[in-house]
Amino acid sequence: MACGMVRGMASSKEPKRVIEPGATLGMLGGGQLGRMFTQAAKKLGYRVHVFCPEPNGPAAQVADEHTRAGYDDLDAVSRFAQSVAAVTYEFENVPAATAEVCETHAPVRPGKHVLHVAQNRAREKNTLAGHGIPVTPFVAVESEEALRAAIEQLGCPAVLKTSGGGYDGKGQRVLHSAAEAPYAWADLNGVPCVLETMIDFEQEVSVVAARGLDGDIKTYGPIANSHRHHILDVSVVPSGATKDVEDAALRIAREVMEKLDVVGVLCVEFFQVRPGTPAFDTHGPMLVNELAPRPHNSGHLTIEAHMCSQFEQQVRAVCGLPLGDATLKSPAAMANLLGDLWPPPTPESASGGAKPSESGKNEPPWSRIENETNLHLHLYGKAQARPGRKMGHLTALARTPHEALRDAVEARARLALPWGVAPD
């Protein structure tokens, strides 16, 4: 099966207080993940208070309350935390001081100890390796000299990544030879980094996992992911891997949840290692690439494809409720809709079928997919479309993963024409 579940070996150290429906939950962050969390929370009878600096972001549009302030405004953070029964978040770079202030007034789930690990690649990899969890071979580097020594140790090709920050391929450089070291180091502004061995992998997969206060764990996936220009392009479940390989990913994801004492939702991103390579012989079929202590883009398909979505699980875990049924209902594929699909504001785009929205921007021709009963369109309410910006996603359900992937990609291509974005 594409989803699994297990009773945790050890319960969380947090108190087992259930937050009943009717309470207000706090969300740090105002983007699409916060929006979908809010929508799931409301279905379960909760109110949501969003904290973010943006005036009318995706989450604030659907929330019951919105505090507009910077994450470094600790007085505002304190007032926010006092108004809610629990706090969660949609991005892992929540400032440590913000999380600490929140924890003085309400439980933060996942806790700040999970944030501390996930906010720094070197810390994350050292922590996971210390728990015996297979990670990409790496060396932490804090100087150009240390980078040269790391290249001697790991060899090339390798990937240099900043230890802090970075997403969707930002803060990364591929090194093909030691001669590129000074340029890569300068390009990343000489900040602390990790150098990782370039892995020969069959595909990238993710497992989204939820863990409750009682230690119960439910998992989604493995989900197979493809990227374009370092941004997630399409995801599909089941992944197509053999049962033994999928079981290895699920086992590792459960270990991560237990070892880090996660209460909430966390995504484990993996490289599915190619058999016969040194990495496979040493570490097995799955290497952890990185963690995201929140719902994940690849898990958006769980809204339609599973009995209980990743966002409902986040609500349930945060509130101390029993976790929901994560059973897969149907093979599914998710295709991201980036701002590149939105036509430019010209007469030519309007003649191609695009219509101005209430905000004044031209929209893709949604009518081209509106009669497709197996397609599910999600738009995030972002006012401005930009190339590379995640504006929404499409999920396709089908008899097989291949058919779901085909349907999602072809539907997106119909939305893209005639302004020139072609299918793969």
Beta bridge partners of 138: 196
pLDDT in tens, 103-149: 999 999 999 999 999 999 999 999 999 999 999 999 999 999 999 99
Is the pLDDT at 3 greater than 50? The verdict is no
Would the pLDDT of 421 be above 60?
no
252 vs 135, 214, 287, 291, 292, CA distance in Å?
11, 19, 9, 12, 15
pLDDT at 7: 35
Nearest to 182 by CA among 145, 150, 137, 132: 145
Q: What is the DSSP letter of 306?
A: B
CA dist 68 and 56 (Å) reads 9
Considering just the CA atoms, what is the radius of gyration of the chain in Å?
21
In which element (H, E) is residue 281 found? helix 278-283
Class of domain 24-116: alpha beta
Residue/partner pairs of 96-100 with CB below 8 Å, 24 or more apart:
97/72, 98/28, 98/71, 98/72, 98/74
Give residue 358's pLDDT: 45
Q: Three-class SS of residue 129?
A: helix
Residue with structure tokens 């029993």? 322
Q: Does residue 137 have a cis peptide bond before it, meaning omega lies within 30 degrees of 0? A: no
pLDDT in tens, 376-396: 999 999 989 999 999 999 999
Span 17-26, average pLDDT: 96
Strands (E) in 190-310, as ranges, are 193-197, 201-211, 216-228, 231-237, 264-273, 286-292
pLDDT band at 351 (very low <50, low <70, confident <90, very high): very low
Give phi and psi for 396, each to the nearest 5. Answer: -115, 135
In this structure, are strands 24-28 and 86-89 parallel, antiparallel, or unpaired? parallel
Torsion angle of the four alpha carbons 30, 33, 36, 38, in this order, in degrees rounded to the nearest 10: -40
Beta bridge partners of 211: 217, 264
Encode pLDDT of 191-233 as tens digits.
Answer: 999 999 999 999 999 999 999 999 999 999 999 999 998 899 9
pLDDT digits (tens, 9 = 90+) for 287-335: 999 999 999 999 999 999 999 999 999 999 999 999 999 999 999 999 9
Closest to 270 measured CA to CA, from 205, 213, 224: 205
- Give me the architecture of the 137-197 domain, per CATH: 2-Layer Sandwich (3.30)
- Between CA 24 and CA 8 the distance in angstroms is 28
Question: Residue 412 in contact with residue 341, Cβ under 8 Å?
Answer: yes
Write the class of the CATH domain 332-416.
alpha beta
The continuous run of DSSP H or E covering 339 comes out as none
C-alpha 236/C-alpha 404 separation (Å) is 8
**pLDDT value of position 10:** 41
pLDDT for position 130: 96
CB 369 within 8 A of CB 377: yes
Please report the pLDDT score of residue 359 as a whole number: 45
**DSSP label at 108?**
B
Give per-residue pLDDT as tens, 142-168: 999 999 999 999 999 999 999 987 565
Number of other residues whose CB lies within 10 A of the CB of residue 226: 15
Span of 12-21, 281-290, 415-424 with lowest mean pLDDT? 415-424
Domain boundaries, the chain: 24-116, 137-197, 332-416
Cis amide leading into 238 (omega within 30): yes
172 compared with 31, residue with greater pLDDT: 31
Instruction: Report residue 422's pLDDT band, with 50, 70 and 90 as the boundaries.
Output: very low
pLDDT digits 0-9 by tens, 253-296:
999 999 999 999 999 999 999 999 998 999 999 999 999 999 99
DSSP state of 47: E
pLDDT at residue 18 in the model: 93
